[in-house]
Structure 1
Amino acid sequence: MDNDVNWSLTFSLVVASLVLFLLYRYLTSTFTHFSERGIPGPKPVPIFGNLWGIWRVNLPQHDRDLVRKYGKIFGYFDGSNASLWVTDPEIIKAVFVKDFDHFTNRRNMTFESKIVRRMVSSARGQEWKDIRSSITPAFTSGKIKRVSVCLHSYKYKLHSNSNFSLKLKMSTLIKACADQLAVKFDRIATTEGKLNAKIQFSAFTMDVIARCAFGIKIENLGEKDDQFMAKAKAIFNAPVNKTPLAVIPLIYPKLIPILGERLFLTEGFQFFIQLLENLIKDRTASKQKYEDFVQVATEAITEYTKEVEGKSVPKWNVEEIEEIVIAQSVLFLLAGFDTTATTLTNIVFLLALNPEVQSRLYDEIAKKMEFYAEVKHEMLIDLPYVDQAINEVLRMYPPVPRVERECNKDVIYNGIQIKKGTIVTVSSFALHYDPDNYPEPEKFNPDRWNADNKAERNPYTFLPFGMGPRNCVGMRFAMEEIKIALCTIIQQFHFFPVAETPETMQFEKGFMQVTQPVNAVVGIERRTAQ
């Protein structure tokens, strides 16, 4: 009897050991992918690959450390999935532009939500091409300048419309939001003398998008009871970003539906989807023309056609059009809100620490104002030093820390083989701080971007908005917004460091899709007449 028990126990241990061994082999079977090709990289661990602990790190610094240690081309594993990291400008050019047809898609996330799948940032293959082509007209510089909107008072109920309607150019509307921001700055300068920049710029960018994109005016924006802002912020700084669950979409994307999409598509995300669904339903029942982003995008997507038996017919049916419009509108709101607010925060922070740059910026804006009298779209065209300063801020603190493409066909560049299914990852921070591209990279120096220096630099060393056909479709809108806000506040206010101002910008730890500044407090005072 004892022999039977011992034999059974031994057999069970052997089977368990064999199962664990096979599981280990399965989980690590891809880990020789790069070493077999002579490509260096950090040593991966089972299940997590190189992602263990990523939810606890400062992502910009973490990525820069990796590139410093392993070079401009190295292998990395998201779980068992191979990812080739590159900061080599020639490979970046090939992946993002020259051979874009081999790298059309971004990483594939297994979300069942049609809204998420139809976002231009998530769509794949031909569907991405069709959606991108259909919505691009809504982001042209002409639309930014000329589109008009009807504003409605909004306090979390779409039916609380006021009776006034204003026909305004979009750039004029952005200026109106910037003027309101200046009023807030004036009050803060008078009463407190120091500014939490991210809070104020977040309210400003949300105001701009709510008005320009959706034709709504939020009455209590930025106040304590403002759920609109609270839900938007929660999406970018969600608690899940600081836990191991943050890496599940990268390691095992097929687990997303099993774990529940709401774990990743939070309550805030659902709030904005519902907001857009209600807004579109209201508009369907109304004959009023709004001429905001939702209206322009709906018209552009509706007019997009395909060829069937030699005839041009609508590409999408009514239900599909609504899904695509909601998807792009939610993306426009969320992506434009936080990235632009972060960039404006970083600008003010760096200007506070670099008074000579701030002075030059003020002089250029003041000179323009002598001719134009007020900030407007036309004056933004020729502000070279403003452009230089913005580019330098985007170099030092790119809002999106990583840019990715998925390889759909085996290719070889300079002896480096990239297999189908491999993710190519570019760390924006590592690329922008490479001393081969930017001497003294820690130094804030807008003159890097003057005409002569810019002409000598490889253009594929700067990716704040991505690169190539799949770059940020809202880039023109974002730059218009940033310039109008900057010109409006710099001519009125002076920023300077205070005790709470850190020596360098600090970012939230965690697996963040958009960098989140912390402690971005600067001094503020109204400028005296000069």
Structure 2
Amino acid sequence: MAQITEMCYYIVSLLCKVVLSLIALYVVRRRIKMKRVYELADKLKNSYKPLPLIGHAYMALGTNEDRLNVLKQFSSEAINNKHGVTGAWIGMNFYVVVADPLAAEVLTKAVLVKSDMKAFRHLTGKYGSIFAPLDIWRRHRRVVLHSFSEKHLRDYIEIFANRSLTAVEELDVVADNGPFSIWDRILEYSMTSVSQSLLGMENIDIKDKEHELFMQAFSMYLQYTAEKMSQPWLRSDVIFRIMPIYKKLEKWKNVIHSFIEQVIRKNMSKPAGSPKNVMETIMETSRSFEQPFSLEELRDELVVLILASIDTSTVAVCFTCLMMAMHPECQERAYKEVMEVMKDATAPTIDHLSKLTYLDAVIRETLRLYPPVPLIARKVDEDVELPTGLTIVPNCELLISVWAIHRHPRHWGSDADIFNPDRFLKPSERPGGSFMAFGYGPRNCIGYRLAMKSTKIVLSSIIRRFRILPPSNQSQFELKLKYDVMLKDVNNFQIQLQRRK
């Protein structure tokens, strides 16, 4: 018995030595492979100490408010660094956090490979251009970009204008009744507008069970994605697939995919005619390029466009409502402009929108201070030299802090944290990369012009009918923020509406 026990100890001891040797070998090989990354990390050290194996990931534990504070902390470090960047370790991966717009301009043009956001790729599939490989992205972007030309934008404006009138009628029910969250009503406007302009779903009944389930699926998928992104250990596919969250994401993904595929099949059975929505335009354009999209390609691309349209537009409108509530003088100035431009028109047209310059400035200033997507992630695959002379090397990743770039005092002034729409009405020598609410460079947001027009349409309709007031008697109420998938208000965008006489 003693000999057996001794033999077991010997085997266990030998296995431990083998395992430790393999780990040591892996560390040495990784150290050699990542030599230049470690050298870059030494140059970009900051005041936050990384822990073994997990790096700075421990700082991201906690609430979504805590995670936004971490972004602010690293953004501040990057602003104060002479190169406009700093470093962060998340697990075994090294990230370069970028806060300088000149550095961001160079990097967004040179580094086109998106960071591997597995939670979104699970939904957007193989062909969704937002995270697709470069060869797929290039072909898809050429096709999809045509769908957002000025000619086609005119076709979509009427849809958004009509939907904005419906949204105003529904808001009238809660006007003069105290504080409420405007989020759900603006989300409903975004969902129905996008469903009609992208998918051609006319006469949408939001209480229709299939459409209601589709809307719920998108909302739940984003909720669970935020949960996944906040848990670094779920980056591992092995761990992710055995966790309950995987089944939940799979369930809602299947609902979204099935709904869109059903809409596509219905559309394919219709007789050919002039395209009336984004889906039809993409189908027609891909055929003209002699590379017609398959059902799967079209589905994945529509998922991307819906994903990029709904939450970002909703966040932009809701934050602008908060800014107008906090700055009534800006709201009244925008209201007078809307009344002067639109006069007796029932709903805004594309010609009206081009003349609403102050309202445009209000929206842009809101997006500067509260960008819906405050981070852009990329994967570096070749050397890139920054204007300061620092070289960013392969095998590291980028976190371009839109939050920091939009508040950089060197480019926006000492009052960079102050809401002032007039910034966007004056000539400026700021670099183009100092404002990137819709991304920057070749992989920027394709539908940014439509997003701006949609936001302007619904806001002009709201302020024509109502005054937007703070949720309490204090106009300068404290704005608490959180960051999950998007930047959002902790209190879910509480305001009051007062009917104008």
Instruction: Tell me how far apart the structure 2 counterparts of residues 24 and 205 of structure 1 sit (CA, whole Å).
Output: 53
User: Counterpart amino acid of 2:488?
Assistant: Q
Alpha-carbon distance, 1:11 to partner: 7.2
Alpha-carbon distance, 1:505 to partner: 3.0
1:197 alignment partner in structure 2: 182
Instruction: Tell me how far apart the structure 2 counterparts of residues 489 and 64 of structure 1 sit (CA, whole Å).
Output: 33
1:186 alignment partner in structure 2: 172
1:292 alignment partner in structure 2: 277
Give 1:491's match in structure 2, choosing from 464, 487, 491: 464
User: Counterpart amino acid of 1:435?
Assistant: P
Contact 1:222 1:229 (C-alpha < 8 Å) held by counterparts: no
Indicate yes or no: 2:140 matched with 1:131.
Answer: yes
1:172 alignment partner in structure 2: 158
Paired residues, what number?
A: 481
Alpha-carbon distance, 1:490 to partner: 0.8
In the alignment, structure 2 segments of 5+ residues that lack a partner are none
Contact 2:159 2:197 (C-alpha < 8 Å) held by counterparts: yes
Indicate yes or no: 2:467 matched with 1:461.
Answer: no
Instruction: Tell me how far apart the structure 1 counterparts of residues 182 and 490 of structure 2 sit (CA, whole Å).
Output: 10
2:417 alignment partner in structure 1: 442
Instruction: Tell me how far apart the structure 2 counterparts of residues 435 and 133 of structure 1 sit (CA, whole Å).
Output: 37
Instruction: Tell me how far apart the structure 2 counterparts of residues 384 and 179 of structure 1 sit (CA, whole Å).
Output: 21
Alpha-carbon distance, 1:257 to partner: 6.6
Instruction: Tell me how far apart the structure 2 counterparts of residues 24 and 52 of structure 1 sit (CA, whole Å).
Output: 24
Indicate yes or no: 2:95 matched with 1:83.
Answer: yes
Give 2:354's match in structure 1, choosing from 381, 398, 401: 381
Contact 1:352 1:522 (C-alpha < 8 Å) held by counterparts: yes
Instruction: Tell me how far apart the structure 2 counterparts of residues 525 and 343 of structure 1 sit (CA, whole Å).
Output: 21
Give 1:218's match in structure 2, choosing from 189, 199, 204: 204
Q: Secondary structure at the match of 2:173?
A: helix
Q: 1:284 to 1:244 in 2, by over 3 A?
A: closer
Alpha-carbon distance, 1:402 to partner: 0.7
User: Counterpart amino acid of 1:181?
Assistant: A
Indicate yes or no: 2:112 matched with 1:104.
Answer: yes
1:160 alignment partner in structure 2: none
1:209 alignment partner in structure 2: 194
Instruction: Tell me how far apart the structure 2 counterparts of residues 350 and 145 of structure 1 sit (CA, whole Å).
Output: 28
Instruction: Tell me how far apart the structure 1 counterparts of residues 70 and 473 of structure 2 sit (CA, whole Å).
Output: 25
1:514 alignment partner in structure 2: 486
User: Counterpart amino acid of 2:19?
Assistant: V
Instruction: Tell me how far apart the structure 1 counterparts of residues 453 and 124 of structure 2 sit (CA, whole Å).
Output: 27
Indicate yes or no: 2:251 matched with 1:267.
Answer: yes
Instruction: Tell me how far apart the structure 2 counterparts of residues 263 and 47 of structure 1 sit (CA, whole Å).
Output: 28
Contact 1:231 1:269 (C-alpha < 8 Å) held by counterparts: yes
Instruction: Tell me how far apart the structure 2 counterparts of residues 186 and 115 of structure 1 sit (CA, whole Å).
Output: 37
User: Counterpart amino acid of 2:291?
Assistant: K
Write out per-residue CA displacement over residues 299-334 of structure 1, whole angstroms, 9 at most, x where no aligned residue: 112222xxxxxxxxx335xxx522221111111122
Write out per-residue CA displacement over residues 403-455 of structure 1, whole angstroms, 9 at most, x where no aligned residue: 12222212333342222232121111122222223222332111121222xx1
Alpha-carbon distance, 1:521 to partner: 0.8
Alpha-carbon distance, 1:245 to partner: 7.1
Moved more, 426-435 or 288-297: 288-297
User: Normalized against structure 2, the TM-score is what?
Assistant: 0.86
Q: 1:138 to 1:85 in 2, by over 3 A?
A: same
User: Normalized against structure 1, the TM-score is what?
Assistant: 0.82
Instruction: Tell me how far apart the structure 2 counterparts of residues 260 and 122 of structure 1 sit (CA, whole Å).
Output: 25
User: Counterpart amino acid of 1:91?
Assistant: A
Q: CA RMSD in A?
A: 3.2
Alpha-carbon distance, 1:131 to partner: 0.8
> What does 1:274-313 align with in structure 2 at a 5 Å threshold?
274-287=258-271, 289=273, 291-304=276-289
Indicate yes or no: 2:133 matched with 1:121.
Answer: no
Instruction: Tell me how far apart the structure 1 counterparts of residues 229 and 10 of structure 2 sit (CA, whole Å).
Output: 36
Contact 1:412 1:418 (C-alpha < 8 Å) held by counterparts: yes
User: Counterpart amino acid of 1:78?
Assistant: I
Indicate yes or no: 2:23 matched with 1:50.
Answer: no
User: Counterpart amino acid of 1:108?
Assistant: D
User: Counterpart amino acid of 1:80?
Assistant: M
Contact 2:371 2:402 (C-alpha < 8 Å) held by counterparts: yes
Moved more, 434-443 or 347-356: 434-443
> What does 1:235-250 align with in structure 2 at a 5 Å threshold?
235-238=221-224, 241-242=226-227, 246-248=231-233
User: Counterpart amino acid of 2:214?
Assistant: F
Indicate yes or no: 2:408 matched with 1:424.
Answer: no
In the alignment, structure 1 segments of 5+ residues that lack a partner are 147-169, 305-313
2:213 alignment partner in structure 1: 227
Contact 2:165 2:347 (C-alpha < 8 Å) held by counterparts: no
1:403 alignment partner in structure 2: 376
Contact 2:467 2:497 (C-alpha < 8 Å) held by counterparts: yes
**Percent of matched pairs sharing the same residue:** 21
Q: 1:513 to 1:200 in 2, by over 3 A?
A: same
Write out per-residue CA displacement over residues 242-291 of structure 1, whole angstroms, 9 at most, x where no aligned residue: 36774356x44687678799458442232121111111222223326462
1:94 alignment partner in structure 2: 106
Alpha-carbon distance, 1:33 to partner: 1.1
Contact 1:119 1:327 (C-alpha < 8 Å) held by counterparts: yes
Instruction: Tell me how far apart the structure 2 counterparts of residues 404 and 215 of structure 1 sit (CA, whole Å).
Output: 32
Instruction: Tell me how far apart the structure 1 counterparts of residues 237 and 430 of structure 2 sit (CA, whole Å).
Output: 38
Alpha-carbon distance, 1:199 to partner: 1.1
User: Counterpart amino acid of 2:101?
Assistant: P
